[in-house]
Amino acid sequence: RQLDFQRMPKCPVGPDLGVAICLVGFVRTLPRPEVYTSISNFFRNQSKQADFFGVVSSSGDDTAKGQWKEVSQAELEPAMRMLRPVAWEDTPDRRGPRCGLLCMRQYDRLDRCRELISAREAECGGRYAWVVKARPDARMRSRGGRSIAADGLRNGDTIYKDRRAGDLVTYIPRKHWEALSRTLSSTPCERVRSVGIDCSHSA
């Protein structure tokens, strides 16, 4: 299902759209105030312009990490009011692990997030500088208000992975995002491990 939010952010003035945050995976604990508040504060404290995108599942089919029941739209509404996502797609995920690896579905979601980001850029006539991959169910820890730029992300050719937030957050330069998201989602199963993907114990 696609959720229609009347509070969708307007396009900013100018071609720099800032940072796009892709929340991908099962929503699990996102309805908890301490979770969605920490996600909003964490990323909006790092960038003056931070837009959220979601490609998630609220179904109760996540046996790997324990989402044992469906999360309703009513339960998610407070989180949506705070995050004000530009786009949010919520679909059941009952297909099981792809290529026998639990984390492969996240790459399918990332590729869909790429499409949503591209649509926003076309709508606004601009471009994001960075894309951030994060989970919708992780409580983020503050980094003392340091911005992305101040933390060394001035180099637009480098992909950064950061676990200091309390969970793995990946910062990807926008110019590399297109190729990366497509490659990860389209790699045949027999070649998955040869490109360095080994996530047998991840979700």
| Mean pLDDT (10-residue bins), the chain, 203 residues | 59 90 90 94 86 87 58 91 93 67 74 92 93 89 55 61 70 82 71 60 43
Q: Which pair of structure tokens corresponds to residue 137?
A: 């169910």
CA atoms of 140 and 202, how far apart (whole Å):
19
Q: What is the pTM of this model?
A: 0.81
pLDDT at 198: 55
β-pairing verdict for 50-57 and 87-90 = parallel
pLDDT at 136: 92
pLDDT at 87: 94
pLDDT at 170: 84
